[in-house]
Amino acid sequence: MIFRSELKFLSIVVLFLSFFELSHAQDFQGKAIYQTKTTMDLGDWGGREMSEQQRKQIMERMKSFLEKTFILNFNKTESIYKEDEKLAAPGSGGGWGGFASSFTGGPQYKNVKNQELLQEQEFFGKRFLIKDELKKLDWKMTSETKQIGQYMCFKAIAIKEVDEFDWRSMRRRNTDEQKKNEKEVDTTNTKTVVEDIEIPKTIEIVAWYTPQIPVNQGPGEYWGLPGLILEVNADKTTILCTKIVLNPAEREDIIVPSKGQEITQEEYNKTIKQKMEEMREMYGGRNRGR
């Protein structure tokens, strides 16, 4: 029995060392496919007045916006994370989804060696290149484990500051108070939809990473753990890796994004604020003129 346990332990050590050696090979590259899903409660946005069929129809129309597939190509120090355009539904940008998609990023490049983040972003027809430093989360690693596919994963937790325009955490402001006053509608109120939205300052992030692929990469803005991050639970959004290919036969170059007006995240947020102020004035003026 002792011999078997020692043999099992040795096998695990050899397995981890082989993956460590693989990830540090000069030409090492990997590809991971992620499914993302963001939940939305229509009841917070007037959906309580709709029939069940109406709610289902709206959620079906928004499915292509709330549920997406992304591809992460990575090596020892770099990664590029972008939506799988082949699976993007045609005509899915209409209506509210079209407006909200203005907040959805293009290809995102991370260089963990240089602490560099680059992201192409289109906002109301104008293309930007957001360039900033990588923000590292203060991960608290735990001993809790679970299996994701063929990989043993460990749990890590962090508190993340939320970007003020992260639509994934948007919620209606003072929802409970508004429910009480539903019958007392002020027809002179010029409050816009934008003013009715709030985003929490911080959220808890739960990530599952595997030391079997010891690169400190992950989907989107998540990175900094001693293994590839395979799952993220962040407020209303879940990101789950469904497929991994190490050293694929057909390799895809990790191309550094370069298109668009170079701008920092802070400057980009100021641009959004200015545009939203213009919209508030435009729609508020229309309401006041009636």
The single-letter code of the amino acid at 227 is G
Place of tokens 């063929």: 150
The DSSP H or E segment spanning 119 is: strand 116-123
> Tokens 């409660």, residue?
41
| Nearest residue to 76 via CA among 112, 109, 123 | 112
Residue 207 contacts residue 229 (beta carbons within 8 Å): yes
Question: Rounded to two decimals, what is the model's pTM?
Answer: 0.75
**pLDDT tens, the chain, 290 aa long:** 444 544 444 444 444 544 555 545 557 899 999 999 988 765 554 555 666 666 666 666 666 678 899 999 999 999 999 998 775 554 444 444 445 555 557 899 999 999 999 999 888 888 999 999 998 899 999 999 999 999 999 999 999 988 776 766 666 666 555 545 544 444 444 444 455 667 778 999 999 999 999 999 999 999 999 999 999 999 889 999 999 999 988 888 899 999 999 999 889 988 888 887 887 777 665 555 55
Q: Tell me how many domains the chain contains.
A: 1
DSSP per-residue codes, 130-161: EEEEPPPP--EEEEEEEEETTEEEEEEEEEEE
Domain range for 116: 2-289
Give me Rg for the CA atoms of the chain: 22
Residue 253 CB neighbours (<10 A): 8
Cα dihedral angle (138, 142, 146, 147), rounded to 10 degrees? 60
Those residues whose C-beta lies under 8 Å from the C-beta of residue 34, and which sit 6 or more positions away, are: 69, 70, 71, 72, 219, 239, 240, 241, 242
Report helix, strand or coil for 90.
Answer: coil
